[in-house]
Chain A
Amino acid sequence: DTEVTQTPKHLVMGMTNKKSLKCEQHMGHRAMYWYKQKAKKPPELMFVYSYEKLSINESVPSRFSPECPNSSLLNLHLHALQPEDSALYLCASSQRAGGGYNEQFFGPGTRLTVL
């Protein structure tokens, strides 16, 4: 299985809602990533997990809360989001973080709309 899956595919939420995005991979990768991508822009790194520990947080607002329950799963918990948070959220995984094994495999993304 060489696939990264993300659910849901689309999500519409109000500014007071709490929701979660999910990402899963079964390639035995030990690094997982969250990216945010606005229209016609490149992906922007949000978080990196290496061996289930948060290793990079790119100064992301606390209304985004990542979680890595095990080596195959990555969640992004959302709370009190703003309309400007509407974007495509991409999950990726790599064999390791750094050390020449960081070719990243991307999921299809979750299209988030905040009303």
Chain B
Amino acid sequence: AQSVTQLGSHVSVSEGALVLLRCNYSSSVPPYLFWYVQYPNQGLQLLLKYTTGATLVKGINGFEAEFKKSETSFHLTKPSAHMSDAAEYFCAVTTYNNNDMRFGAGTRLTVKP
């Protein structure tokens, strides 16, 4: 079965600094990978996804992620953090023939002024 591991339950950055949230996956078949963001007391919003094709994926709100098969990674980055980026971020994985999606434990991003 597929799974993801998010390194770091809490990441704190200053406003304007680089955001890097780490995600490593495990899958015996080609994975489909997702990053979701969750603001307090809200549902999950899709930031970006990788299925096939280009390994550098651009999403909403200036976020991007790169699929690296050799490193089994799908890290999320943003060049310059904004206060509004403070939220919980979840990496998730599924596969072509799978009906369910498995989430990582989540990383809470704090942005300091």
Contact, CB under 8 Å: B97 / A106: no
Instruction: Give Cα A12 to B93, complex, Å.
Output: 33
- Contact indicator B32/A102 (Cβ below 8 Å): yes
On chain B, the number of residues with a Cβ less than 8 Å from chain A's Cβ atoms is 24
Residues on B with beta carbons closer than 8 Å to the beta carbon of A99: 96-97
* CB closest chain-B residue, reference A108: B43
Q: Does B41 contact A (CB under 8 A)?
A: yes
- Which of A48-56, A59-67, A69-77, A78-86 is the interface stretch? A48-56
Q: Which residue of chain B has the shortest Cβ distance to A104 in the bound complex?
A: B101
Which residues on the A side are within 8 Å of B41 (C-beta)? 88, 109, 111
Least Cβ–Cβ distance between A39 and chain B, in angstroms = 10
Neighbouring A residues of B43 by C-beta, 8 Å: 4, 6, 90, 106-109
CB neighbours (8 Å) of A109 from chain B are 41-43
Closest to A9 in B: B41
Interface residue from B42, B51, B99, B106 paired with A98 (Cβ < 8 Å):
B99
Residues of chain A with a CB closer than 8 A to B97's CB: 98-99
Q: Can you identify 20 A-B contacts, CB atoms within 8 angstroms? A: A4-B43, A6-B43, A31-B99, A41-B105, A41-B106, A42-B106, A43-B90, A88-B41, A90-B44, A98-B97, A99-B96, A100-B51, A100-B96, A102-B98, A102-B99, A103-B46, A104-B44, A106-B44, A107-B43, A108-B43
Kindly list 6 other residue pairs between chains A and B, CB separation below 8 angstroms, not including A42-B90, A56-B99, A104-B44: A41-B105, A42-B103, A42-B105, A90-B44, A100-B52, A102-B101
Q: Is residue B27 contacting chain A, with contact meaning CB distance below 8 A?
A: no
**Would you give the shortest CB distance from A103 to chain B, in whole angstroms?**
6
Bound Cα distance A4, B105 (Å) = 24
B14 at the interface (CB under 8 A from A): no
